[in-house]
C-alpha cells in the first residue's frame, strides 16, 4: 500500500509539472479571452464528460478546441489545475463558480470541496445564492446548511439583494428553496388537532407565498397562515367539541413577529424578546386536554408554541409531559432551537427549567447557542451559557457560535462568547 501511495503522489506532482511545461499538449480550452493548452489524455482521465467528448465524433475532437461557456478565465485555470493535481484551490470567492464547473464536467472531488467552502462561508448576503446553487447542482450538504441558515434569520436574508436577484433570474430554483424552507413536518390527523387550530395565531412569514405570487416581484415578506389538517367527521367533532373548545379557547397564541413588524432591509434580523408578565400555572383542565394528545402531537405543538413565543401554551404543554428533546423530522430542531433562534429569552429559560438540552444539535450540527449567536440574541445566549451550553461546539461545517457572531457582526455576542 505504501508503494501505491508513493506512485500516486509522484504522478500527481509530475502531472502538475506537465501543465507548466506544456509539452505534447493537444487540446485548447477557451473561456472568454482565456486560452489554456492541456493534455487530452489527462483531461479524459480526470473528467468523464471530457472523456466522452473526445471519444465520439464531436467538434471538440476534430478541432481540439473546447469552449467552456459561463466560466471566467480564473475559474477555468482552477478547474484545469485541479484536473492535473487533484488539489482543490482554497479560494472561497470563486468556489460557487468552480462548483458549477466541477459539476458540469464530472469532477466530483472538486465539487465536494467547493460545496464545503461555500457552506463554511455562508452569510446573510450569500445565503440565497448558496441555496439556489445547491438546488440547481444537487448539493445535499450545502442545501441543508443554507436552508438552516435562512430559517434562523429569514427576514434579513429576504431583504438582501441576493434574494431579489434569485427571484428575478432563478425563480424556479428559489421556489424549490422556499418549499424546503417552509414545508412543515407532516401534520397529525388526530381530531383534537383540528379543534386546537381554532385558537388565535399570528404566524411567521412564508417566503414560498411571496415567490409563488410572482417570480419577478420585489422581495416581500407576506404573513401566511399555517396550513391546518382536514376536519374530522362530524360524529367525532361532536364528541370532542365541548371539552376542547371550552378549555382551550382561553389559550390564545401571540407572537412578537408579524408582517407589520417585519424589519426593514437595513435593520438587523432580530425579533426582540419583549418582557412578558409572569403567568400563573395552567389550569388542570387545560393540562388534562394537552395530555389527551399523542406524544408526537405534544412535541409538535411544543415546537410550534416555542416558535411563536406562546409562553402560556409552552407552560401547559410542559406540565402535560411534552418531550422537550423532540426534534422535527426535517431538520431536527427542538423547541429550544426555535426559542433561541427567535430570541425569546422567557421561553428559553422556561424550556431550560424543564431540562431541555442546551447542547442539542440539529441535523446540521447547530446548537441553540449557534442560533442565538447568529441572530444577535444576547439575553437568550446568556441563559443558554448559564445552563451549560458549550461555546466551542462546531457545526458539521466547522462553525462555532463565536464564528457566527463574528460573521454577522454581533459585537455583544462576540464579547460574551470570548469571556472566560
Average pLDDT, the chain: 74
Q: Measuring CA to CA, which residue among 301, 372, 316, 296 is closest to residue 341? A: 372
Q: What is the mean pLDDT of residues 128-143?
A: 93
pLDDT at residue number 202: 38
Report the sign of the C-alpha dihedral through residues 357, 359, 363, 368, in that order.
positive
Q: Measuring CA to CA, which residue among 77, 65, 71, 68 is closest to residue 28? A: 65
pLDDT at residue number 397: 79
Q: Measuring CA to CA, which residue among 367, 417, 356, 376 is closest to residue 396? A: 367
Task: Say yes or no to pLDDT of 280 above 80.
Answer: no
CATH classification of 128-183 is 1.25.40, yes or no?
yes
Relative to beta strand 34-38, strand 27-31 is: antiparallel
What's the distance, CA 296 to chain centroid?
24
Name the CATH superfamily, with its identifier, for domain 187-216+230-259+266-418: Ankyrin repeat-containing domain (1.25.40.20)
Q: Measure Cα distances from 27 to 39, 48, 75, 76 in Å.
A: 6, 16, 18, 14
CB 359, CB 390: distance < 8 Å? yes
pLDDT at residue number 251: 39
Q: What is the mean pLDDT of residues 405-418?
A: 89
pLDDT at residue number 352: 93
Characterize 314-342 residue by residue with b for buried, 16 or more Cβ atoms within 10 angstroms of its Cβ, and e for exposed.
Answer: bbbbbbbebebebbbebbbbbbbbbbbbb
> What secondary structure letter does DSSP report for 156?
H
CB 83, CB 28: distance < 8 Å? no
- Domains of the chain, by residue range, sit at 2-121, 128-183, 187-216+230-259+266-418
Name the CATH superfamily, with its identifier, for domain 2-121: Potassium Channel Kv1.1; Chain A (3.30.710.10)
> What secondary structure letter does DSSP report for 66?
E
Full strand arrangement of the beta sheet holding 34-38: 34-38, 27-31, 65-67
What's the pLDDT tens digit per position in 248-272? 333 334 433 333 333 333 334 444 4
What's the pLDDT tens digit per position in 154-187? 888 988 999 989 988 988 898 888 888 865 544 4
Q: Measuring CA to CA, which residue among 34, 29, 51 is closest to residue 42? A: 51
- Supply the pTM of this predicted model: 0.50
Domains 128-183 and 187-216+230-259+266-418 share a fold: yes
What's the pLDDT tens digit per position in 217-237? 333 333 333 344 444 454 443
What's the pLDDT tens digit per position in 39-74? 888 888 888 888 888 888 788 777 888 888 778 888
What's the pLDDT tens digit per position in 377-410? 999 999 999 999 999 999 887 889 998 888 888 8
Residue 150 and residue 401: Cα distance in Å, rounded?
16
Amino acid at each position: 500500500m505504501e508503494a501505491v501511495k508513493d506512485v500516486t503522489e509522484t504522478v500527481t506532482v509530475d502531472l502538475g509539472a506537465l501543465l507548466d511545461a506544456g509539452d505534447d499538449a493537444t487540446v485548447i480550452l477557451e473561456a472568454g479571452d482565456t486560452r489554456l493548452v492541456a493534455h487530452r489524455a489527462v483531461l479524459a482521465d480526470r473528467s468523464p464528460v471530457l472523456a466522452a467528448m473526445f471519444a465520439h465524433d464531436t467538434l471538440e475532437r476534430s478541432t481540439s478546441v473546447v469552449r467552456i461557456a459561463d466560466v471566467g478565465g480564473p475559474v477555468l485555470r482552477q478547474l484545469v489545475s485541479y484536473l492535473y493535481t487533484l488539489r482543490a484551490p482554497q479560494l472561497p470567492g470563486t468556489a460557487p463558480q468552480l462548483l458549477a464547473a466541477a459539476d458540469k464536467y464530472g469532477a466530483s472531488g472538486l465539487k465536494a470541496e467547493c460545496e464545503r467552502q461555500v457552506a463554511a462561508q455562508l452569510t446573510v448576503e450569500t445565503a440565497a445564492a448558496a441555496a439556489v446553487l445547491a438546488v440547481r447542482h444537487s448539493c445535499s450538504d450545502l442545501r441543508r446548511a443554507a436552508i438552516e441558515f435562512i430559517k434562523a434569520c429569514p427576514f434579513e436574508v429576504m431583504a438582501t439583494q441576493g434574494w431579489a436577484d434569485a427571484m428575478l433570474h432563478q425563480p424556479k430554483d428559489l421556489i424549490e428553496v422556499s418549499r424546503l424552507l417552509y414545508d412543515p413536518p407532516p401534520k397529525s390527523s388526530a381530531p383534537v388537532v383540528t379543534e386546537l387550530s381554532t385558537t388565535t395565531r399570528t404566524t411567521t412569514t412564508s417566503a414560498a407565498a411571496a415567490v409563488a405570487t410572482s417570480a419577478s416581484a420585489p422581495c416581500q415578506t407576506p404573513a401566511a397562515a399555517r396550513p391546518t389538517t382536514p376536519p374530522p367527521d362530524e360524529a367525532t367533532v361532536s364528541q370532542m367539541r365541548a371539552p376542547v373548545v371550552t378549555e382551550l379557547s382561553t389559550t390564545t397564541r401571540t407572537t412578537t413577529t408579524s408582517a407589520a413588524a417585519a424589519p426593514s432591509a437595513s435593520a438587523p434580523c432580530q425579533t426582540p424578546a419583549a418582557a412578558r408578565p409572569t403567568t400563573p400555572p395552567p389550569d388542570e383542565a387545560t393540562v388534562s386536554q394537552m395530555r389527551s394528545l399523542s406524544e408526537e402531537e405534544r412535541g409538535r405543538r411544543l415546537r410550534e408554541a416555542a416558535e411563536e413565543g406562546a409562553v402560556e401554551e409552552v407552560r401547559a404543554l410542559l406540565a402535560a409531559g411534552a418531550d422537550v428533546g423532540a426534534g422535527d423530522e426535517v431538520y431536527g430542531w427542538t423547541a429550544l432551537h426555535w426559542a433561541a433562534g427567535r430570541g425569546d429569552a422567557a421561553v428559553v429559560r422556561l424550556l431550560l427549567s424543564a431540562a431541555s438540552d442546551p447542547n442539542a444539535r440539529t441535523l446540521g450540527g447547530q446548537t441553540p447557542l449557534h442560533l442565538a449567536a447568529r441572530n444577535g440574541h444576547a439575553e437568550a445566549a446568556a441563559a443558554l451559557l448559564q445552563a451549560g451550553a458549550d461555546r466551542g461546539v462546531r457545526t458539521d461545517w466547522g462553525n462555532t457560535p463565536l464564528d457566527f457572531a463574528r460573521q454577522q457582526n454581533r459585537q455583544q455576542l462576540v464579547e460574551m462568547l470570548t469571556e472566560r
